[in-house]
Amino acid sequence: MTVRITPSILNADLANLASEVERIPSADGLHIDVMDGHFVPNLVMGAPFVESLRRTTDLMFDVHLMIEDPDRWAPHYVEAGAQSVTFHLEAATAPIKLARELRAMGARAAIALRPATPVEQIADYLAEFDQVLLMTVEPGFGGQKFLDPVLAKIRRARKLIDASGADIWLQIDGGVSADTIARAAEAGADTFVAGSAVYRSDDPDQVVTSLRAQALAAQGPHR
């Protein structure tokens, strides 16, 4: 049974990030959202920012690129110190080639799908990735409501991953909270991004710990 909680710093105090990161010692990694104002309407954080943050913590960096042309930009985030780089299928020109390039650089390669993109689109080359990220909100902003229709896709993704026999993390991102994490874990997710639930709390680390406990309790027998 495995559950990973990777808090998103999008809703943290961005001017004091080093101390914000120290508030979540129980996290399994740091989810860093990168937005370019084109693939999504919002604009935050680039590779130089990741490089600076890298000097402040040993946490695993799980970079989520919501940008156009990841084929060109994703490798820069490995150079900046990310252990895992997630790019969107909808934005990539050559996802298999890019995944192989990221792995060859020593990083985990991950693919993200917007809520309406079917997981079956990546079924034939699932094993090229170390993580599949299913968005449970439309990417772009924190604090949105969890989209329940994605639960069926989480179940189908879990089946595809188990059938592949590969060790692929199934991550969800968007609207994860004490109200939603159990049903996502029950559906088969094992890695959870939580932004506002963690950073809008007075005790972020306690939220990380209790989200993990809830997910563990809800995980089905398949894990």
| Phi and psi, residue 52, nearest 5° | -65, -45
* Residue 36 interacts with which of ligand DX5, Zn ion, none, CB < 5 to 8 Å by class: none
111, 133 contact by CB (below 8 A): yes
Binding region for Zn ion (CB under 5 A) out of 34-42, 113-121, 171-179, 202-210: 171-179
Name the residue with the smallest CB distance to ligand DX5: 195
Any contact of residue 33 with Zn ion (CB under 5 A)?
yes
Give the integer Cα–Cα distance in Å for 221 and 223: 6
- Cα separation, 134 vs 114, whole angstroms: 7
Given the residues 36, 62, 130, 173, the one annotated as active site: 173
Q: Residue 129: which of 155, 158, 98 has the closest Cα?
A: 98
In the residue annotation, 13 being an active-site residue is answered as no
Rounded to 5 degrees, what angle do the CA atoms 68, 5, 63 make? 25
Q: What does 188 interact with, of Zn ion, ligand DX5, none (CB < 5 to 8 A by kind)?
A: none
Q: What residue ranges bind ligand DX5 (CB under 6 A)?
A: 8, 10-11, 31, 33, 64, 137, 139-144, 173-176, 193-197
Question: In the chain, which ranges are E strands?
Answer: 4-5, 30-36, 43-44, 61-66, 84-88, 108-113, 131-135, 169-173, 191-193
Nearer to Zn ion, 28 or 173 (CB): 173
Minimum CB distance to Zn ion smaller for 135 or for 168 = 135
Question: Do 28 and 6 form a contact (C-beta atoms < 8 A)?
Answer: yes
Active-site position among 28, 33, 130, 190: 33
Note if 124 is an active site residue: no
* Residue 95: contacted member of Zn ion, ligand DX5, none (CB under 5 to 8 Å, by partner type): none
Minimum distance of ligand DX5 from residue 104's CB (angstroms): 26
Dig out the tokens for 81 from the structure: 């110190």
- What's the closest the beta carbon of residue 83 comes to ligand DX5, in angstroms? 17
Q: How many residues does the chain have?
A: 223
Residue 88 is a binding residue for Zn ion (CB under 5 A) = no
Site residues (vs Zn ion, CB under 5 A):
33, 64, 173
Q: Which residues are catalytic?
A: 33, 173
